[in-house]
Chain A
Amino acid sequence: MPDKEKIVRVPIGPQHPALKEPESFMVDLQGEKISSIALRLGYNHRGIEKGCEERTYVQDVYLIERVCGICSHSHSTAFVQAVEEIAGLDVPPRAKYIRTLIGELERVHSHLLWLGVAGHEIGFDTLLMYTWRDRELVMDLLAELTGNRVHYAMNVIGGVKRDVPQEQFARITSVVDALEERTKYYVELAMTEETLAQRLSGVGYLSKEDAERFGAVGPTARASGVDRDTRRDDPYAAYGELEFQVVTDTRCDVFGRAVVRLGELMQTYSMIRQVLKKMPDGPTSVRAPLKIPTGEAVSRYEAPRGEDVHYVRGNGTDKPERAKVRAPTLANLQSVAKMLENGYLADLPIVVAAIDPCFSCTDRMVAVRGTSESKTMNWEELVQYGVRWYRERGIDLSNVKMRGEVTA
Chain B
Amino acid sequence: MAKTPRRRPGRMIPSLLRSLFRRPATTRYPFVKWEMPDRFRARPVVHTENCIGCKMCVRNCPSGAIQIEDMGEKMFQATIDLGRCLYCGQCAFVCPKKTIELTKDFELAAFDRASLVVVYHAKPKPVEEPAASAQPKAAEPQAPAA
Binding site for B on A (CB under 8 A): 55-56, 58-63, 65-66, 126, 130, 133, 136, 140, 143-144, 147-148, 151, 153, 156, 158-159, 161-163, 165, 185, 188-189, 191-195, 197, 249-251, 283-285, 287-290
- Contact between B4 and A191 (Cβ–Cβ < 8 Å)? yes
Contacts A63-B62, A192-B5 given: A143-B86 contact, CB under 8 Å?
A: no
Contact A287 B93 (CB under 8 A): no
Q: Are B25 and A143 in contact (CB under 8 A)?
A: no
CA distance A33 to B1 in the complex (A): 25
Of the residues A56, A126, A192, contact of B16 by C-beta under 8 Å:
A126
Q: Which residue of B lies closest to A287 (CB)?
A: B144
B8 and A194 within 8 A (CB): yes
Please, could you name 11 A-B residue pairs with CB atoms under 8 Å apart, sorted by A? A56-B59, A58-B62, A130-B15, A153-B88, A158-B144, A163-B139, A193-B10, A287-B142, A287-B144, A289-B144, A290-B144
Taking A58-B60, A165-B139, A250-B2 as contacts, is the C-beta distance between A192 and B39 under 8 angstroms?
A: no
Given known pairs A59-B60, A159-B141, the reply for A147 and B11 (CB within 8 Å) is no
- Which partner residue on chain B sits nearest A283 by CB separation? B141
Q: Is B12 an interface residue (CB 8 A)?
A: yes
Is the Cβ of A192 less than 8 Å from the Cβ of B7? yes
Residue on B nearest A147 in the bound complex, by CB: B41
Q: How far is the CA of A62 from the CA of B36 in the complex (A)?
A: 22
Q: Taking CB as reference atom, which chain B residue is nearest A197?
A: B7
Q: Is there an interface contact between B1 and A251, defined as CB atoms closer than 8 Å? A: yes
Residues of A within 8 A of B139 (CB): 163, 165, 284
* Among B5, B62, B90: residue with most chain A CB under 10 A: B62
Q: How far is the CB of A159 from chain B (nearest CB, A)?
A: 7
Q: Show the binding face of B for A, using Cβ within 8 Å.
A: 1-2, 4-12, 15-16, 25, 36-37, 39-41, 59-62, 86-90, 93, 102, 137-139, 141-142, 144-146
Question: Which one of B1, B11, B16, B25 lies within 8 Å of A193 (CB-CB)?
Answer: B11
Residues of A within 8 A of B138 (CB): 162-163, 165
The answer to whether A148 touches B146, judged by C-beta atoms less than 8 angstroms apart, is no
Least distance between A406 CB and chain B CB atoms (Å): 11
Q: For the complex, what is the distance from the CA of A143 to the CA of B102, rounded to whole Å?
A: 13
| Residues on the B chain within 8 Å of A283, using CB | 141
Contact B39 A144 (CB under 8 A): yes
- Shortest beta-carbon contacts, A-B, top 5: A147-B41, A59-B62, A163-B139, A194-B9, A144-B37
Q: Does B62 contact A189, Cβ atoms closer than 8 Å? A: no
Chain B residues, Cβ within 8 Å of A250: 2
Considering the complex, give the chain B residue whose CB is closest to the CB of A286.
Answer: B141
- A-chain residues with CB within 8 Å of residue B142 when the two chains form the complex: 287
Are B2 and A251 in contact (CB-based, < 8 A)?
Answer: yes
**A192 partner, pick from B8, B61, B102, beta carbons under 8 A:** B8
